[in-house]
Amino acid sequence: MVGKMVDVDELLSFADTIVKKAVARGADEAEAFVSSDTTVECQIQGGILTTREGVDEGLGVRVVIGKSVGFASVSSLDEKQADEVISKALSLAKIAPEDPKFQQLPDPVKRGTRSGIFDETIMKVDSASLMEESAKIVQEAMQTDKRVSYVYGFSGLDYGTFGVVNSRGVGSGDKNTGIGAGIYLKAENNGEVKLGYELVVSREHRDFEGVGENLAKNVIGYLGSKPLESTFEGTVIFENKIVDELFSEFLGYSVSALAVQEKRSFFANKLGKQVASKDLTIHDDPQLHEGIKTIKCDHEGIDVLQKPIIKEGVLKNYLYTSYTAYIDNVESTGNAIRSGFQGLPRTAPINLTIRGNKNLEEMVSEVEKGVLIREYVMGLGHANIITGDFSIVAPTAFLIEKGEIKHSLNTITIAGNFFQTLKNIQAIGNDPILTQNGKIPTIAVKNLTISG
Amino acid sequence: MELSELEEFVDLALGYGAKIGVPFIEVRLEDGSVGEIRLEKGEVKESKALRDIGLAVRVIYNGVSGFAFTTRLKKDSVEKVVEKAFQAAKVGDKITALRLPFADSEPVVDNPHIPPIKQHPKNVSFEDKREMVMRAYESAKDYGKSVASIIVRYGEAYGAKIVANSEGTRVKWDPWTVEIVCMVISKEGEVLADAWDRHGGSIGLEIFEGHFSPEQLGENAAKWAAEKLVAKKVPAGRQRALADNKLTGVLAHESFGHQTEADLMISGAVVLKDRMGEKLGSENVTVVDEGVYEGDNADIYRGWWCPHDDEGVRAEKVVMLDKGVFSSSLNSRGTAKYMGSKPTGNARALDFRFEPIVRMRNTYFTPGDMSFEEALELLRDGIYAIDTFGGQANFDGNFMFKAMRGYLVRKGEIVEPLRDVAITGNILDFLKKVEGATRDFELHGGYFGGCGKGGQGPLFLADGGPKLLLGGDGVQFGGEM
């Protein structure tokens, strides 16, 4: 199971047969998406060790009859199962009402793109070495300080291929490798509890030495916190991993052409307008060399496109799949991403990148009164994604006064609006971290309501 | 392929395990079907049908587990899966610091029939389901105000599952769930307001008539969104509150339920790790987790029908909090032995791609004896918080939930609507503040949403309860200055 892989050409030829069959059986247009993914994972949670590995393969078929679309999938690359899936997709398309906005499956778009890093050595890593890796991370953290009271360490790898073929001549696919490790830990002292996490991801094989120790040291540093006992308007410095969550959540949604066309995005009618501070430039860079999600083509087989989303504060581009692109009469930006063979394409950024020029010390020195928040916040996932209103809880924060960090704080809350936040950016850090969402730095934002 | 044809792979895996000397092997075969319809602005945007078939193997070796799965149902692939799981358990045996050998258990052989329902989703045509979705949409359009968007979703999942092990356990059952959700977004100027109504669970489609008709769900979502357009933001600070049935359900599951999961107690992740037997809350709080809800209105509020867990164990009714006293934890076979208690049927896996871990099923606060009017009267001045758009709860007991909507209550009367009702607090503090509960009871589950523990989400389950009156010095509501 480990160490072998179905190649892209095999998948493409299988997908091609499916498409031809679907057309022969009455589809006006057809598309087959086929994937094969191998996962190996190991986690140690407070001493309990579990591993998991397996192969996940399957096929998703989209067929069009007139302006009606049907989709069906099965977790198998078996021909008999595939025939059943074609039948099911066809019968759904026959009874589905027309979607008047649907125009066609995509025609091929070639942009001379390339694949991301593919590291074959990852395919040779087995569950035994991941267990050792996870054990090492946990041990490092536990040994750092006796106040570390709970550790959850994990590591995992995946590799896989996908291929997508449609009846309009699209036939493209790609492959990927990835390895990662993470840790979540708790430090306790006299009833005070602080938490932290770290997640390190890479497309190339690497070790994770120091990950456990660094995090343990950071979290120990949050102990001895004091209550804020006030409410004020000030600057919040969001650590890069929090920015990663905040931006991927709000931006990913708002720049989707579908959300814009359906008037449920704050960015509707704002193309070419100033939506953020002049200092902010955000790209979607699907060709980022080390990018975790870097790909040659999207999951509709369309070559990806590097583009600014916001340039010097001005909204430059929406993200398109073929469906929304044909509605606006533009070319797809290659942002159709599926959750696997079971999913239809959805609009998603591939690698969000933001550049900044300040180190943390400089950013802190520019704050008259505010807080630095680290690790994670609660409540982001449930902020109002349309209006941008959020009210988040930050359990790990430091008070900043007159350009200096004073002390660690008890849990505080921060209320504001994401889109106002974009305009109120005070500084951007030069410390981007590589994540599943791209490469994201620390950001300082003024005029937020801080209370605790 | 029918499940009976696929069952040969279960025997194959068990036989191969015995052949290579695996001391304990558990095999799970699943054949699940999923259907979804999504409608936006009156157009069906998506209709899809998925079939998910696969096999999972778990080996327990000296109290250490090894797990592997595959979608390749072929002899050589299935044998390889058994080898991989055994191999992983043997390596784990050399590394692990903690062992969780299984509690002894008699083999379970069972094939429970699903409870009586009139219309199983597999027997209802796609056209009829599409019709229900359209009806919700039309109704939302009629009752909405300044409507910017209407999204209606129907989802169903059903299938067959076999769990068998080398001790002779063999359990087969056919889980299922359905749900309709209608979401309306209204917009006036720069003010956007959203609201939803939904109903679902292991129920028949005949339940979507009358009180839960698509028309009613659409009308409710539209009216509530319109109401929120003019609603004021909730005043920040501590307030007395009445939490409605859906909101209390989420608190039962997210804030309290996870604290009682034995794996998290053993690993030391949760604050309740060594507080069994302690009085944590007021007399008015009892929290239950059970596999099959058979109480009042079970045809409407069945939640998630879960007669066995994924280790084949029969689902027990567990009272975790008994009149305020922490009385029981939720267990798998592995955690039960360690905790010195019995397996409760709480070992569940998202699907064949994952191994069973301790999870909840139907989790709820038990009802009290107040009417809604009496509860408002006792609340006097405070906030009536309703439903939730979700939230987050941490292992340290801290939580934050965003109620979907709410009302300001003055002198026991509902005065005006509120929006952005975010509640924060700590569950241990919360449990002490419960001054009473209403007698109306609801259990909510369904196709959309679910629990995400251990990267295994969304897992089907349900939660609920009565309305809870929260007194003392009140609970913390968020809001801007």
Instruction: Find the residue in B nearest to A154 (Cα).
Output: B454
Nearest alpha carbon to residue A352 among A202, A239, A273, A249: A249
A3 contact B CB<8A: no
Chain A (19-58) residues lying within 8 Å, Cβ to Cβ, of chain B: 44-58
Domains defined along chain B, listed by start: 3-34+49-110 (3.30.2290.10), 121-161+172-231 (3.30.2290.10), 233-477 (no CATH)
Residue A372, helix vs strand vs coil: strand
Nearest alpha carbon to residue A325 among A261, A253, A272: A261
A415 contact B CB<8A: yes
**The model's pTM:** 0.91
pLDDT digits (tens, 9 = 90+) for A351-365: 999 999 999 999 999
Chain A residues with beta carbon closer than 8 angstroms to that of B420: 384, 389, 391
Residue recorded with tokens 């009139």: B118
Q: CA of A331 to nearest chain B CA: how many angstroms apart? A: 21
Q: Which of B70, B187, B399 has its CB closest to that of A55?
A: B70
In this structure, what token pair is assigned to residue B64?
């250490």
pLDDT digits (tens, 9 = 90+) for A304-332: 999 999 999 999 999 999 999 999 999 99
Chain A residues with beta carbon closer than 8 angstroms to that of B1: 80-81
- As separate numbers, helices (DSSP H) first and strands (DSSP E) second, chain B gives 9, 24
pLDDT digits (tens, 9 = 90+) for B83-100: 999 999 999 999 898 899
Contact (CB, 8 A) for A422 and A275: yes
pLDDT-based confidence at B464, cuts 50/70/90? very high
In this structure, what token pair is assigned to residue B384?
């009536």
Q: CA of A19 to nearest chain B CA: how many angstroms apart? A: 17
pLDDT(A423) > 80? yes
In this structure, what token pair is assigned to residue B217?
């769900």
Class for the domain spanning A8-219: alpha beta
Instruction: Find the residue in B nearest to A386 (Cα).
Output: B192
> According to the model, what pLDDT value does residue A2 have?
42
Classify each residue of B175-196 as buried b or exposed e, where b means 16 or more C-beta atoms within 10 Å of its C-beta: bbbbbbbbbbbbbeeeebbbbb
Question: How many CB pairs (< 8 A) connect A and B?
Answer: 220
> According to the model, what pLDDT value does residue B1 have?
54
The DSSP call for residue A406 is E
A4 contact B CB<8A: no
Cβ of A74 within 8 Å of Cβ of B53? The answer is yes
Tell me how far apart the alpha carbons of residues A11 and A165 are, in angstroms, rounded to a whole number.
Answer: 9
Cβ of B77 within 8 Å of Cβ of A55? The answer is yes
Contact (CB, 8 A) for A46 and B266: yes
Q: What is the mean pLDDT of residues A424-432?
A: 98
Instruction: Find the residue in B nearest to A87 (Cα).
Output: B49
ipTM entry = 0.88
Contact (CB, 8 A) for B303 and B315: no
pLDDT digits (tens, 9 = 90+) for B423-456: 989 999 999 999 999 999 999 999 998 888 888 9
Tell me how far apart the alpha carbons of residues A396 and A371 are, in angstroms, rounded to a whole number.
Answer: 10
Q: What percent of chain B has pLDDT over 90?
A: 82
Chain A residues with beta carbon closer than 8 angstroms to that of B81: 1, 54
* Nearest 10 degrees: Cα torsion B320, B321, B326, B327: -50
Tell me the domain boundaries of chain A: 8-219, 225-451
> According to the model, what pLDDT value does residue B402 have?
87
Residue B101, helix vs strand vs coil: coil
Alpha helices (H) along B324-411: 333-339, 372-379
Nearest alpha carbon to residue B248 among B391, B85, B115, B382: B391
Residue A256, strand partner residues: A319
Q: Which of B50, B394, B420 has its CB closest to that of A73?
A: B50
Q: What percent of chain A has pLDDT over 70?
A: 99
Cβ of A381 within 8 Å of Cβ of B84? The answer is no
Instruction: Find the residue in A nearest to B185 (Cα).
Output: A264
pLDDT(A111) > 80? yes
The 3 state secondary structure assigned to A58-125 is EEEEEEEECCEEEEEEECCCCHHHHHHHHHHHHHHHHHCCCCCCCCCCCCCCCCCCCCCCCCHHHHHC
DSSP labels, B73-94? -SHHHHHHHHHHHHHHHHHHHH
Cβ of A344 within 8 Å of Cβ of B236? The answer is no
In this structure, what token pair is assigned to residue A216?
């343990």
Instruction: Find the residue in B nearest to A93 (Cα).
Output: B47
> According to the model, what pLDDT value does residue B329 have?
98
DSSP labels, A179-205? EEEEEEEEEEETTEEEEEEEEEEESS-
> According to the model, what pLDDT value does residue B480 have?
42
Cβ of A70 within 8 Å of Cβ of B65? The answer is no
pLDDT(A383) > 90? no
Cβ of B402 within 8 Å of Cβ of A389? The answer is no
Cβ of B149 within 8 Å of Cβ of A57? The answer is no
